[in-house]
Amino acid sequence: MTEQDVTRLLQKIPQLKQEIGKVIVGQQEVLDEVLVALLAGGHALLEGVPGLAKTLLVRTLAQATDLPFRRIQFTPDLMPTDILGTEVLEEDHGTGHRSFKFNEGPIFASLVLADEINRTPPKTQAALLEAMQEGHVTYAGQEHALPKPFFLLATQNPIEQSGTYPLPEAQLDRFLLYVRIGYPTEQEELAVLSGTTGAVRAEVRPILSGEDVRQLQLLTRQVSISPELLSFVNRLVRATRPATSEVPFIKEYGRWGAGPRAGQALILCAKARALLQGRFAATLEDLRALAPAVLRHRVLLNFNAEAENLTPDDAVAALLAAVKV
């Protein structure tokens, strides 16, 4: 890419946020983390109570990026073939020859919304593992490549227990970021009420094409990060493991720590955040800002922590305070 290409792409990022802001009021931190996951080439899990515009955010992002979009509503009776696709027997009326043809499922889109992913059994949840990790689907021994870019956004409701199936740790680790969505402020909620109950609906223009997204993902990996910060990420991730950690909180309350994938995720996300802000070097602030979303689903706490109402976010805060640059 030339310098003009880079400048053109970076100029589109504020326009993209502006278009999404026509529909989504507030939630700036959530939007930034979703865009970080997109630029870093990973996937994101959005968690929040009903009515916080999780689905609307993903749909608006699809409109603003002009990417092929599919929504999968996860239900208890959903089967893996409902997501991946299936083979059907077709007959050539001219020759009478019969053959199997693979009909692609809704996973074959550049931007896929897995809505309420914890409402379907583990058998169906696991159908996403290969797609998320490898970028292709295997059916009847044949590999079927997914579009590029491929970005999966999954949502789940944290307050319901009946009829839900929590994601296993191995699948949680496939998500680059675990984004939590909170309630809006009083002014933001007032703006939502006034803007969504009238006759006028905002129109979102496409800002980024699929090729623009691919170029931004390539550009993200070229953002620099210093050896000192690489060492900090390495020590931070290793400090999450109770067997070798020197952090008192982890030694007392930790049950399982993060693997090397967490370090890769944190570095890529820091680079993406830097690029979103028009910088070509990741900083300590980038790493600290994204550490909770990267680590909260990769650090498991023991029963003592649950008894004291401690969360993985508390563990991340203790780690950031203890591990120095």
* Same domain flag for 184 and 272: no
Residue 304 lies inside a defined structural domain of this protein: yes
Residue 227, pLDDT score: 93
Band of the pLDDT at 159, cuts 50, 70, 90?
Answer: low
Band of the pLDDT at 228, cuts 50, 70, 90?
Answer: very high
Would you tell me the crossing angle of helices 210-221 and 3-21 to the nearest 10 degrees? 120
Residue 267, pLDDT score: 95
Residue 163, pLDDT score: 63
> Domain containing 243 — which CATH number?
1.10.8.80
The tens digit of pLDDT for each residue in 73-115 reads 988 888 888 888 887 877 777 777 777 777 888 889 889 999 8
For residue 160, is pLDDT > 70? no
Residue 270, pLDDT score: 94
Band of the pLDDT at 141, cuts 50, 70, 90?
Answer: confident
For residue 233, is pLDDT > 90? yes
Give the separation between CA 277 and CA 129, rounded to whole angstroms: 31
Bridge partners of residue 33, in order along the sequence: none
Using a pLDDT cut of 70, give the percent of the chain over it.
Answer: 98
For residue 236, is pLDDT > 90? yes
Residue 129, pLDDT score: 83
* Same domain flag for 7 and 118: yes
* Same domain flag for 20 and 139: yes
Residue 218 lies inside a defined structural domain of this protein: no
Residue 278 lies inside a defined structural domain of this protein: yes
Band of the pLDDT at 162, cuts 50, 70, 90?
Answer: low
Residue 184 lies inside a defined structural domain of this protein: yes
Average pLDDT over residues 166-173: 82
The single residue listed with the structure tokens 């909770």 is: 292
Q: What is the 3-state secondary structure (H, E, C) of 76-105?
A: CCCCHHHHHEEEEEEECCCCCCEEEEEEEC
Tell me the pLDDT of the chain averaged across its residues. Answer: 86
Band of the pLDDT at 118, cuts 50, 70, 90?
Answer: confident
* Same domain flag for 84 and 175: yes
Residue 217 lies inside a defined structural domain of this protein: no
Residue 235, pLDDT score: 93
Residue 257 lies inside a defined structural domain of this protein: yes
For residue 52, is pLDDT > 80? no
* Same domain flag for 156 and 60: yes
Residue 136 lies inside a defined structural domain of this protein: yes
Domain closes at, from 186, 212, 238:
212
DSSP state of 233: H
The tens digit of pLDDT for each residue in 2-12 reads 788 888 888 88
Structure tokens given for 226: 């210093």
99-103, 161-165, 187-191, 219-223, range with the lowest pLDDT: 161-165
For residue 209, is pLDDT > 90? no
* Same domain flag for 45 and 171: yes
* Same domain flag for 74 and 186: yes
Higher-pLDDT residue of 292 and 59 is 292
* Same domain flag for 160 and 295: no
* CB-based contact 153:202 (threshold 8 Å): no
* Same domain flag for 113 and 247: no
Q: What is the 3-state secondary structure (H, E, C) of 284-314?
A: HHHHHHHHHHHHCCCCEECHHHHHCCCCHHH
* Same domain flag for 14 and 137: yes
Give the separation between CA 186 and CA 184, rounded to whole angstroms: 7
The tens digit of pLDDT for each residue in 250-307 reads 999 988 888 899 999 999 999 999 999 888 999 999 999 999 999 999 998 989 988 8
Q: What is the 3-state secondary structure (H, E, C) of 107-150?
A: CCCCEEEEECHHHCCHHHHCHHHHHHHHCEEEECCEEEECCCCC
Residue 201 lies inside a defined structural domain of this protein: no
| Torsion over CA: 155, 161, 162, 163 (sign) | positive
| Range of the structural domain that residue 50 is part of | 3-196+206-212
Can the peptide bond before residue 312 be classed as cis, meaning omega within 30 degrees of 0?
no
* Same domain flag for 176 and 288: no
Q: Give the number of domains in the chain.
A: 2
Domain closes at, from 187, 212, 237:
212
* CB-based contact 157:118 (threshold 8 Å): yes
Band of the pLDDT at 178, cuts 50, 70, 90?
Answer: very high
Residue 27, pLDDT score: 78
> Domain containing 183 — which CATH number?
3.40.50.300
For residue 161, is pLDDT > 70? no
Residue 321, pLDDT score: 92
Domain closes at, from 153, 183, 212:
212
* Same domain flag for 185 and 230: no
